Amino acid sequence: MQVVDLDRETVKRGLNDGTMLIIDVREDHEYESGHIPGAVSHPLSTFDPQAVAALIAADGRRPVLSCGSGVRSVHALMAAQKAGLDISEHYKGGFKDWYAAGEAIE
């Protein structure tokens, strides 16, 4: 399994230049309480690699998985890679790092 840890500054650059798609794998109630601007929700509890593959194909941006702190996003990476998806990047600090740094949220 390949896991590439991204930090907040890398995520911010990707969002600012429009090249990064953040896929938030936290549960719906967590996502609804606040998320990284532009992130799309795909909870780990109902994670469907085919739906994620379709989202990525339709969107065209570089997919990066994110969660609360970087643990569930690794589990989602494992599921995605096991299903044959070429996804290896996640936001290591996740939403907790983003929020703690005072970044904007939706």
Q: What is the pLDDT of residues 13-56, one digit of tens each?
A: 999 999 999 999 999 999 999 999 999 999 999 999 999 999 99
Please give the average per-residue pLDDT across 67-85, as a whole number.
Answer: 96
> Using one digit for the tens of pLDDT, what is the confidence trace for 83-95?
999 999 999 999 9
Strands 62-66 and 40-41: unpaired
Q: 66 with 47: CB under 8 angstroms?
A: no
Q: What pTM does this model have? A: 0.96
Instruction: State how far Cα 84 lies from the chain centre.
Output: 18
**pLDDT higher than threshold 90 for residue 1:** no
